[in-house]
Amino acid sequence: MLFLMRKIGAATTALILTIAAPGSAGTAPDSRRAAWQDLYRTPDAIPFPETNPYSAPKADLGRRLFFDPILSGNRDRACATCHLPGLAWADGRARAATLAGSDMDLRTPTLINVAWQDGPMGWDGKFRDLETVARTPIAASGNMNLKLVDAVARLKADTSYRDGFASAFGDPMISAERLDQALATFERLIVARRAPFDRWIAGDEGAISRAAMIGFDLFNGKAGCAQCHSGWSFTDNSFHDIGTATGGDIGRARLMPKSVALRYAFKTPTLRDIDLRAPYMHDGSLPDLAAVIDLYDKGGIDRPSRAREIKPLSLSAEEKTDLLAFLATLTGAGDQEVATATFPADAPKP
């Protein structure tokens, strides 16, 4: 069940690619296209921090911990409860489910390409780095509901986990810090699958439709999407008020209340496998990508915190269709699994 695939994704992609072609009729390629393409080349290897270097035993331990409900109070939830491989390493919900079945305040973020997320993590940046993320949902009473000291005690009582930690770290000591490190090592292997867009960037001109190419030009040019969704992972890893959020959750400004610019600012998510990850936005408030494009086209609420990149776009219906065609090329084919620690530039390997 954890690896249940969202079959509608491929069908949606095919439909978009089919209907998008008329929208780009008569549109010439942007002269800047080749320069833009250079910004999206696949990196050669997955980055790991010096303070938590990669090892296969540590990644294997992290994988086991990720899927094991031993880390929840009632042994009925795991990291994979909210981060399902078959749902683009998220959960397909507008907002994450609490232990009681109600809604949390925010959507479950995807873990795709988390290795390239530098700086603060989480929708509001409350986590210093990937190594500090897991202990919060594990200990949260509304989530996995297990105190860290109890989680460590459970692992210590399990002979196979003692062996796993000894293999991963060179000795059998089990601690909350090592738990964090093992999980983070595995999570850094969650890499975007090779998509039609990547084949196009590598030189295969037949990999995507002409409409998608025009959509790429719009994405980097008139629509300005690449100002925030930049590079191979399609995120600048920063925080922006895009002029939409209202109400009590003021995003990054909850942690930095003196900053006017960070009021209602949330972290830019990756766009990899984006058509598998509806609904959208930090609070799951938009049902589909067409609604997302319409929102950006309007320019958002004019207020002091709104990012300067956000402004009315005046996109035509054809341009919106071409943008949808481009976004559809960012979803890879095949089962969603993890990459090798060093993956070749032409394709991550499952």
What CATH number should be reported for the domain holding residue 139?
Answer: 1.10.760.10
- The reported pLDDT for the residue numbered 14 is 39
Integer angstrom CA distances of residue 39 from 193, 212, 220, 229: 18, 17, 11, 12
Please identify which residue in the block is written with the tokens 């610019």: 261
Which of the listed residues 187, 214, 246 is the one where a domain comes to its end?
187
> Does 338 fall in a domain?
no
Same structural domain, 31 and 117: no
> Does 337 fall in a domain?
no
Same structural domain, 210 and 320: yes
Which of the listed residues 152, 187, 222 is the one where a domain comes to its end?
187
SS3 category, 60: helix
Integer angstrom CA distances of residue 58 from 53, 77, 171, 300: 9, 22, 12, 44
SS3 category, 262: coil
- The reported pLDDT for the residue numbered 171 is 95
- The reported pLDDT for the residue numbered 5 is 32
Same structural domain, 306 and 235: yes
Q: Within 10 A of 83 (CB to CB), how many other CB atoms are there?
A: 25
Report phi then psi at 85, rounded to 5.
Answer: -55, -40
Same structural domain, 117 and 223: no
Contacts of range 311-319, beta carbons closer than 8 Å, 24 or more positions apart: 313/222, 313/223, 313/224, 315/218, 315/222, 315/223, 317/23, 318/22, 318/23, 318/24, 319/23, 319/218, 319/222, 319/223
> Does 60 fall in a domain?
yes
- Distance (Å, whole) CA 121 – CA 37: 27
Same structural domain, 145 and 26: no
Same structural domain, 292 and 176: no
Which of the listed residues 155, 187, 219 is the one where a domain comes to its end?
187
SS3 category, 121: strand
Same structural domain, 206 and 307: yes
Size of the chain, expressed as the number of residues it contains = 350
Rounded to a whole number of angstroms, the distance between the first and last alpha carbons of the chain is: 18
> Does 34 fall in a domain?
yes
> Does 127 fall in a domain?
yes
The enclosing H or E element of 239 equals: strand 239-240
- Angle of helix 210-220 versus helix 8-20 axis, rounded to 10: 90
pLDDT in tens, the chain (350 residues): 333 333 334 333 433 333 334 455 457 899 999 999 999 999 988 999 999 999 999 999 999 999 999 999 999 999 999 999 989 999 999 999 998 889 998 999 999 999 999 889 999 999 999 999 999 999 999 999 999 999 999 999 999 999 999 999 999 999 999 999 999 999 999 999 899 999 999 999 999 999 999 999 999 999 999 999 999 999 999 999 998 888 788 999 989 999 999 999 999 999 999 999 999 999 999 999 999 999 999 998 889 999 998 999 999 999 999 999 999 999 988 766 677 666 654 443 33
> Does 210 fall in a domain?
yes
Please choose, from the candidates 167, 123, 130, 134, the residue with its C-alpha nearest in 3D space to the C-alpha of residue 68: 134
Same structural domain, 212 and 178: no
| Strands 239-240 and 266-267, bridge-based pairing | antiparallel
Same structural domain, 156 and 232: no
- Angle of helix 317-328 versus helix 8-20 axis, rounded to 10: 140
pTM of the model: 0.88
> Does 345 fall in a domain?
no
Integer angstrom CA distances of residue 341 from 47, 54, 68, 80, 125: 9, 7, 22, 20, 26
Same structural domain, 164 and 112: yes
Please choose, from the candidates 201, 189, 188, the residue with its C-alpha nearest in 3D space to the C-alpha of residue 329: 201
Same structural domain, 216 and 117: no
Same structural domain, 36 and 62: no
Q: How many domains does the chain have?
A: 2
Please choose, from the candidates 300, 302, 305, the residue with its C-alpha nearest in 3D space to the C-alpha of residue 258: 305
- The reported pLDDT for the residue numbered 338 is 77
> Does 289 fall in a domain?
yes
Range of the domain at 116: 56-187
Please identify which residue in the block is written with the tokens 């002091």: 304
- The reported pLDDT for the residue numbered 12 is 39
